[in-house]
Amino acid sequence: IIEAGQPEHSVITTCAYCGVGCSFKAEMRGDEVVRMMPYKDGKANHGHSCVKGRFAWGYSTHKDRITKPMIRAKITDPWKEVSWEEAINHAASEFKRIQKKYGRTSVGGITSSRCTNEETYLVQKLVRAAFGTNNVDTCARVCHSPTGYGLATTLGTSAGTQDFDSVDEADVIMVMGANPTDAHPVFGSRMKRRLREGAKLIVIDPRRIDLVKNPHIEADYHLPLRPGTNTAMLNAFGHVIVTEGLMDEEYVRERCDLEEFNRWRAFVADPKNSPEAMEAFTGVKAADVRGAARLYATGGNAAIYYGLGVTEHSQGSTTVMCMANIAMATGNIGHNGAGVNPLRGQNNVQGSCDMGSFPHELTGYRHLSTDSVRQQFEQDWGVTLDPEPGLRIPNMLDAAIEGSFKGIYIQGEDIAQSDPNIQHVIAGLSAMECVVIQDIFLNETANYAHVFLPGSTFLEKDGTFTNAERRINLVRRAVKPKAGYADWEVTMMLSEALGYPMHYNHPSEIMDEIARLTPTFQNVSFKMLEEKGSVQWPCNDKAPEGTPIMHMNGFVRGKGRFMITEYVPTEEKVGPRFPLLLTTGRILAHYNVGAQTRRTDNVVWHPEDVLEMHPHDAEDRGIRDGDTVSIASRVGETTLRVKVSDRMQPGVVYTTFHHFGTGANVITTDYSDWATNCPEYKVTAVQVRPTNRP
Ligand code: SF4
């Protein structure tokens, strides 16, 4: 007998929040989800969950969901509900008109790390095959693009080296620019368990995050560096490792390019890279840096876990390469308990990068300029592809402001809240003649849109997400799409209206195509995922069971490549006008721009963004805990309440961007990583004043 309110059946699926990729049972009563229960056989979470995945799914039925397509001629006009057919035909005819008038490359698209692999693949295929341009980019541009560049350059593939289970064999855990207990809670708990068992902990972070000291754990070293000095810090680690003879010489000799290694060894051995010399930049005592570097190099298996506090800098890619350098020098890649491990923010950041969403790469990180790769896709898709890379997101906006980029298709991404220097984003969007948004809510970017196509939540579609350990998990449809179609079906309709019909009956057929065209996905299929539960790529004839640990028998690129990583101070400098440095992060209850979590009960735990400030900085300005202050940078100004906190170091303030209007991106600048254009969200010079004073 089933009692009223009790679930009748369940659907096993994957959490749509962070990159841990927890498996859940969506428990159902009739056509309604009544509860999300962590799934004990989920290989990423083993039955655990956090407050986001477990409780914050109610946004899927929130009254703000848009379920009817809408169009308008001008962004000042009211929206008009229309049929799917009219909306799709209108969008397609606008894109065709724009391309006829301004040229083929005057349009582009943005894929989403919240959508499935199959949906992301289809959007980049539409842009390349139906639009005929490589102007496609992913929201990973603004988070982990330096991970892709840095790890591909040094090791040969754009992905973390380990599986989550590997942490159980780590003797030393180094956490840099990440806050796993808030942003990746299930993995953070697992890390804490290993620390309670006795593993040593190094935390490199400007802020005293929970891991540094809590009732159960105390870090062996907390290096509270000045924002923007990550590269200086890790070069100092390299200096200690090289000059104190702490290298694994045999590992380096067997696995790495020795010419590059010798160059790197001479570079980091230079006294200018010593902890003593770098102290002037990092602000961290040289003795602590020496102690931490010795622990990393000699403490047994040493694993690095890092987040956006590494990548979102003007030297984001350089710092990723620094981590690979010290890991190779100490033999800490290619076995359990070690590695260089990006903690991915969004559920499918890894997947959106794998699926060919970058303007220069096709699936599996293969460059467009490689004739054999391009020809394989040309044959399969029946089109000719341009060998030249297209525009990245910031370049699309620049081109729009200059007048050469006029139309964009954005799936599941809110660039008018999430991207830096929002004024620049708005100027770019406002200059376009056709902005098409596909989303579940009327987000901030939709304020500048001409066509709105209702999106579907993870509960409304089949597909796959790939988590931070390269694990491909199935997403299973629990309820029908509220607007009638899943996102992959909408992309197909738009492609057909553009004159390039796609023929898939189910996302499994899209995955079959991905597997056909992508060596690292060669053996992946929905059937296989149903049988195994999940699998970690590469999964092919060489690794039919998948690959939990990368680079075990040599690096993917052949010999590991040490890179020279000169420290270059950021252009964003403090001075009399803007004497404080602002850095940004996330909190446990919320997720990124908050579009989902703000529409759930999680909002009561954190109803607003606040500015954390050291007591001395507050006192200097006559600011008390709870006061409202203005925060001004050279690009904008916003208002927040202050939380006086000794988690901060003097001279550094911190906030989140989960709420709109007061969010940090009104003031973040458009400085970016030299290699990938990932924005420098983590370093903004600001002034903070009480609002009732001049
Ligand atoms: Fe979802 Fe991440 Fe929480 Fe797991 S840890 S339940 S994937 S938000």
Residue 644 φ then ψ, to 5°: -75, 130
Give pLDDT, residue 5.
63
Give pLDDT, residue 613.
96
Residue-wise pLDDT tens digits, 166-208: 999 999 999 999 999 988 999 999 999 999 999 999 999 999 9
pLDDT at residue 165 greater than cutoff 70:
yes
The long-range contacts involving 48-51, CB below 8 angstroms and separated by at least 24 positions, are 48/22, 48/186, 48/189, 48/190, 49/15, 49/22, 49/24, 49/186, 50/22, 50/185, 50/186, 50/588, 51/185, 51/588, 51/589, 51/602
Q: For residue 603, tell me if it sits in a domain.
A: yes
Q: What is the 13 CA–ligand 1 centroid distance (Å)?
A: 12
Distance CA 424, CA 636 (A): 11
Q: What is the 496 CA–ligand 1 centroid distance (Å)?
A: 36
Closest ligand 1 atom, residue 38 Cα: 6
Q: What is the CATH number of the domain that holds 221?
A: 3.40.228.10
Mutate to test the pocket of ligand 1, among 59, 184, 458, 534 (most ligand atoms within 8 A of CB): 184
Together in a domain, 184 and 299:
yes
Residue-wise pLDDT tens digits, 447-480: 999 999 999 999 999 999 999 999 999 999 999 9
User: Which stretch of 281-290, 432-441, 620-629, 650-659 has the lowest confidence by average pLDDT?
Assistant: 650-659
CB atoms within 10 A of CB 287: 11
Q: What is the 208 CA–ligand 1 centroid distance (Å)?
A: 23
- Report the candidate in 671, 519, 658 with the shortest Cα–Cα distance to residue 581: 671
Q: Which two tokens stand for residue 419?
A: 């991207």
Q: For residue 1, tell me if it sits in a domain.
A: no
Distance CA 135, CA 622 (A): 49
Give pLDDT, residue 462.
97
Closest ligand 1 atom, residue 53 Cα: 6
Q: What is the 185 CA–ligand 1 centroid distance (Å)?
A: 7
Closest ligand 1 atom, residue 184 Cα: 5
Mutate to test the pocket of ligand 1, among 14, 22, 43 (most ligand atoms within 8 A of CB): 22
Contact 356, 365 (CB under 8 A): no
Q: What is the 127 CA–ligand 1 centroid distance (Å)?
A: 31
- Report the candidate in 59, 4, 45 with the shortest Cα–Cα distance to residue 473: 45
Give pLDDT, residue 672.
85
Residue-wise pLDDT tens digits, 37-52: 999 999 999 999 998 8
Together in a domain, 324 and 359:
no
Question: pTM value?
Answer: 0.92
| Chosen domain end from 322, 342, 362 | 342
Element (H, E) at 173: strand 172-176
- Helix ranges (DSSP H) in 83-158: 84-102, 117-125, 145-154
Confidence band, pLDDT 50/70/90 cuts, at residue 694: very low
Q: Which residues have CB under 8 Å from 155's CB, separation 6+?
A: 161, 324, 333, 340, 550, 551, 555, 556, 557, 560, 561
Q: What is the 470 CA–ligand 1 centroid distance (Å)?
A: 16
Q: For residue 541, tell me if it sits in a domain.
A: no
Indicate if ligand 1 lies below 6 Å from the C-beta of 17. Answer: yes
pLDDT at residue 1 greater than cutoff 80:
no
Closest ligand 1 atom, residue 18 Cα: 2
For ligand 1, atom 1, which residue shows the shortest CA distance? 53
Closest ligand 1 atom, residue 186 Cα: 5
| Chosen domain end from 342, 371, 406 | 342
583 bridge partner residues: 654
Together in a domain, 372 and 491:
yes
Residue-wise pLDDT tens digits, 242-252: 999 999 999 99
Together in a domain, 215 and 317:
yes
Distance CA 311, CA 673 (A): 8
Confidence band, pLDDT 50/70/90 cuts, at residue 157: confident
Closest ligand 1 atom, residue 187 Cα: 5
For ligand 1, atom 2, which residue shows the shortest CA distance? 18
Q: What is the 680 CA–ligand 1 centroid distance (Å)?
A: 26
Of residues 371 and 60, more confidence is placed in 371
pLDDT at residue 381 greater than cutoff 70:
yes
Give pLDDT, residue 693.
54
CB atoms within 10 A of CB 218: 12
Together in a domain, 134 and 149:
no
CA distances from 432 to 89, 400, 405, 411, 563 (A): 18, 6, 7, 17, 40
Residue type, 587: I
Indicate if ligand 1 lies below 6 Å from the C-beta of 348. Answer: no
Residue 299 φ then ψ, to 5°: -85, 10
679 bridge partner residues: 672
Residue-wise pLDDT tens digits, 328-362: 999 999 999 999 999 887 889 899 899 999 999 99
The 3-state DSSP class for residue 540 equals strand
Mutate to test the pocket of ligand 1, among 13, 14, 18 (most ligand atoms within 8 A of CB): 18
Together in a domain, 309 and 384:
no
Q: What is the CATH number of the domain that holds 587?
A: 2.40.40.20
Stretch 631-645: mean pLDDT, rounded? 91
Per-residue three-class SS string for 26-87: EEEECCEEEEEEECCCCCCCCCCCCHHHHHCCHHHHCCCCCCCCEECCCCCCCCEECCHHHH
434 bridge partner residues: 407
Q: What is the residue-averaged pLDDT of the chain?
A: 92
Distance CA 142, CA 308 (A): 9
Q: For residue 547, tell me if it sits in a domain.
A: no
Distance CA 344, CA 346 (A): 6
Indicate if ligand 1 lies below 6 Å from the C-beta of 428. Answer: no
Residue-wise pLDDT tens digits, 227-238: 999 999 999 999
Which residue range(s) make up the domain with 658?
580-690
Q: Which two tokens stand for residue 331?
A: 């033999």
| Chosen domain end from 313, 342, 371 | 342
pLDDT at residue 261 greater than cutoff 60:
yes
Distance CA 595, CA 414 (A): 9
628-632 and 637-644 beta bridge pairing: antiparallel
Confidence band, pLDDT 50/70/90 cuts, at residue 659: low
- Report the candidate in 425, 227, 208, 234 with the shortest Cα–Cα distance to residue 313: 227
Indicate if ligand 1 lies below 6 Å from the C-beta of 20. Answer: yes
Indicate if ligand 1 lies below 6 Å from the C-beta of 412. Answer: no
Q: What is the CATH number of the domain that holds 85?
A: 3.40.50.740
ipTM for the predicted complex: 0.99
- Report the candidate in 461, 466, 458, 406 with the shortest Cα–Cα distance to residue 436: 406
Indicate if ligand 1 lies below 6 Å from the C-beta of 590. Answer: no
For ligand 1, atom 3, which residue shows the shortest CA distance? 50
Distance CA 416, CA 413 (A): 9
Stretch 305-309: mean pLDDT, rounded? 91
Distance CA 657, CA 82 (A): 33
CA distances from 267 to 263, 270, 279, 325, 564 (A): 6, 6, 18, 12, 7
Confidence band, pLDDT 50/70/90 cuts, at residue 692: low
Q: Where are the beta strands (DSSP E) in 615-661?
A: 628-632, 637-644, 652-656
Number of domains, the chain: 4
Stretch 554-567: mean pLDDT, rounded? 95
Stretch 538-565: mean pLDDT, rounded? 94
Q: For residue 550, tell me if it sits in a domain.
A: no
Residue-wise pLDDT tens digits, 471-497: 999 999 999 999 999 999 999 999 999
Q: What is the 209 CA–ligand 1 centroid distance (Å)?
A: 19
Residue type, 344: R
Residue-wise pLDDT tens digits, 590-604: 777 677 777 877 777
Stretch 9-33: mean pLDDT, rounded? 92
CA distances from 120 to 135, 256, 465, 475 (A): 14, 35, 10, 14
Indicate if ligand 1 lies below 6 Å from the C-beta of 668. Answer: no
Q: For residue 434, tell me if it sits in a domain.
A: yes
Q: What is the 469 CA–ligand 1 centroid distance (Å)?
A: 14
Of residues 6 and 621, more confidence is placed in 621
- Report the candidate in 660, 345, 678, 348 with the shortest Cα–Cα distance to residue 487: 348
Stretch 142-158: mean pLDDT, rounded? 87
- Report the candidate in 411, 422, 322, 363 with the shortest Cα–Cα distance to residue 667: 422
